[in-house]
Amino acid sequence: MNLEALRGKLSYQGLLLGGSALLTSGALAMAAYITSADIEAAAAEDLKQSLAQVLPSQYDNDLLSDSVTLPGPGGEVTVYRGRRAGRVEAVVFQVAGPGYAGPIACIMGVDRDGRVLGVRVLRHKETPGLGDKIEPAKADWIHSFERRFLGDPPADQWAVKKDGGVFDQFTGATITPRGVVKAVKGGLEFFEHERGRLLDEVKS
Amino acid sequence: MSYARIARDGLWGNNVVFAQMLALCPTLAVTSSATNGLGMGLATTAVLTASNVLISSIRHLVSAEVRIPVYIAFIATLVTLVDMGLNAWVHELYKVLGLFIALIVVNCAILGRAEAFASKNGMAASAVDGLMMGLGFTAALVVIGGVRELLGSGTLFANAHLLLGPAFAFLETTVIPQYKGYLLMILPPGGFLAVGFLLAGKRLIDKKLAERETVAAVPQATAG
């Protein structure tokens, strides 16, 4: 049949729109089906990598399958535990602090004595060139938490220097590091508070 | 239309940013550094070329009345497929480009080329148009990003290795050492300023070129 004449018909418009919608949503559904396993594997690999960054030493269990979920400062917190010979040596969990442009999500590792093993920023929307110095690729600042605990520095000095604390702020960006310091401090307080359950020494 | 003409239109005469004034939203959003501009530009080039070929291949089937929703559905699907594919199979690249891929959906230049070119021309010409428009867009973003990065933080192509791999670390240069930084250029107003001044610059060059052409054309006209 003549395509030109067919295109003018009203029913053709409807069929064309319907056909396009069917075709595109079919393609998307198929692609989602094909890629979902790989995307999940990639996300798990990402999580494993970020866990490894804040947990420097080796553990003999699979961290991803040894987790406990507890009520924390900002809702439920999933804590992954690293064990050696069955004893919990370190825990990893996510914390969030208020940034300049939305929450800053961090992941932090804490050893069984309450010392910070490492902190990494997972997601943030801070100003490029100013607030993004919290990323280890841009500056060393995030390493300044390592080996610290509540007591070194004392609780009231867990703040940026401008607020009377010990942590550096950035030129032109104080709110960003303040948010990260607050998040890490909150994480340590959460650890102290839930210590027994986190270390699997009190049955919950 | 000759391929040379298509190329000249895409790269300069009808440049997405500096002539059509399209795609300003992603342009202003990502050009805080030359590297970001390059990443956004390359991702857009790939999607634009693919979408032009796709639209051109279905141009006889689509009737004029419903072409816009059909084009939108196909372009959005294409972008989503690219997004999912990169996430699943080239995850390292996705972590760098992921932000840009999602932003391509809001890039009206893609629909603009589908409407203005691909719906009226063959697949080969549409592919070349998409490629050239994309490269012109990339060049514009790199220049805007370069200007903002240079004035804002005194560097050029900072963190290029995150986008292109460690082999391209040589691109990273600190042009002004010990530079204190000029925050305004990195923040959104800097984007408007840079685009505005670069646009004025391009208009000046075009004016000069046009004047030279008329001067050169006059003797020919009298001779003919």
When scoring A1, A4, A6, A7 by the number of chain B Cβ atoms within 10 A, the one with the most, hence best to mutate, is A7
Residue ranges covered by each domain of chain A: 3-52, 57-198
- Per-residue model confidence (pLDDT) at position A180: 93
For B172-218, what is each residue's pLDDT tens digit?
A: 888 888 877 787 888 889 999 999 999 999 999 999 999 998 887 76
Model ipTM over 0.90: no
B181 vs B11, more confident: B11
CB atoms within 10 A of CB B22: 19
pTM above 0.95, yes or no: no
Residues A57 and A46: their CA atoms lie apart, in Å, by: 18
Element (H, E) at B186: helix B183-186
For B115-151, what is each residue's pLDDT tens digit?
A: 999 999 999 999 999 999 999 999 999 999 999 999 9
Chain B residue with minimal CA distance to A13?
B66
When scoring A1, A35, A50, A170 by the number of chain B Cβ atoms within 10 A, the one with the most, hence best to mutate, is A35
Residue B162 has pLDDT above 80, yes or no: no
Asked if A22 has any chain B CB less than 8 Å from its own CB, the reply is: no
State the Cα angle at B141 between B138 and B144, rounded to 5°: 150
CB-nearest to B87 from A3, A35, A171 is A35
Residues A165 and A159: their CA atoms lie apart, in Å, by: 4
DSSP annotation of A72 reads E
CB atoms B62 and A16 under 8 Å: yes
The range of the structural domain enclosing residue B175 comes to: 3-216
For A27-57, what is each residue's pLDDT tens digit?
A: 999 999 999 999 889 888 888 888 888 887 7
B69 vs A126, more confident: B69
CA distance A63 to chain B (A): 22
Q: Quote the number of domains for chain B.
A: 1
Residues A114 and B123: their CA atoms lie apart, in Å, by: 64
> Does residue B135 fall inside a structural domain?
yes
DSSP annotation of B187 reads S
Q: What Å distances lie between residue B208 and A54, B7, B11, B214, B219, CA to CA?
A: 59, 21, 18, 10, 18
